[in-house]
Amino acid sequence: MIANFVIVTDLLKTIRLHMEKDQYSESELATMLHNAGLRPSVQRISIFSLIANSRLHPSAEEIYSNLWHRFPSLSRTTVYNSLHALADCGLVRELEIESGNKRYDLAPQPEHGHFMCRRCGKIFDTELPHHIDMRKMKGFVLESVEVCYKGLCPECSDHNA
């Protein structure tokens, strides 16, 4: 039990060191996968890279569409299995902003919300305007925060003008 705690603690320290980066190298991503107990296959690194380096909050289908030309043997099953493994070990998190439409985000990150453009469907990271003071919420245990604003992004709102 203590060994697992140390592994998770080390993993979180590694991820926190990288949270503010704009781009992650393949070797950094491979190290993060290895530290999380996942085999850093070329396909898994590419799937993880698409999430970590694009900030586009892609769906499984978008990941598959972006990578199948590089990996002709890549299957949708491989993408889904990799995403589940990445989520289970805490490297990515599933976002269900629209019912039945899962997107993926790098995790853990500083608390942030999302803005979804209702026209183009793009999802952007946003700051949260306030935090809940959990000391006032006796008996509650906060596990996650999910805030999603919906409207038009600057590009789509320019087309409205």
Using one digit for the tens of pLDDT, what is the confidence trace for 20-75? 557 899 999 999 999 999 999 999 999 999 999 987 889 999 999 999 999 999 99
DSSP secondary structure letter of residue 9: H
Tens digits of residue pLDDT in 103-130: 898 886 667 677 878 888 787 877 777 7
Give the domain CATH number at 153: 3.30.1490.190
- Confidence at 146, pLDDT banded by 50, 70, 90: confident
3-state secondary structure of 14: helix
Write a three-state SS string for 83-152: HHHHHHCCCEEEEEEECCEEEEEECCCCCCEEEEECCCCCEEEECCCCCCCHHHCCCCCCCCCCCEEEEC
Residues 100 and 126 reside in one and the same domain:
no
pLDDT confidence bin for 19, thresholds 50/70/90: very low
Same domain membership, residue 53 and residue 33: yes
Domain identity same for 97 and 126: no
Determine the pLDDT at residue 161: 59
Q: Are residues 101 and 121 in the same domain?
A: no
Domain that holds residue 22: 2-106
- Does residue 132 share a domain with residue 73? no
- Give the pTM: 0.67
CATH code of 23's domain: 1.10.10.10
Same domain, yes or no, for 80 and 152?
Answer: no
Q: How far is CA 58 from CA 8, 42, 107, 132, in A?
A: 26, 19, 14, 28
Q: What is the pLDDT of residue 17?
A: 42
Number of domains in the chain: 2
Q: Tell me how far the alpha carbon of residue 147 is from its chain's centroid.
A: 14
Q: Are 43 and 67 in contact (CB under 8 A)?
A: yes
Residues 63, 6 share a domain: yes
pLDDT at res. 143: 73
- pLDDT, residue 108, reads 67
The 10s digit of each residue's pLDDT in 81-103 is 999 999 999 999 888 777 678 88
103, β-bridge pairs: 95
For residues 73 and 140, membership in a common domain is answered with no
The DSSP bridge partners found for residue 105 are 93
**Is 16 found in the same domain as 32?**
yes
How far apart CA 111 and CA 117 sit, in angstroms, is 20
User: Are 100 and 30 part of one and the same domain?
Assistant: yes
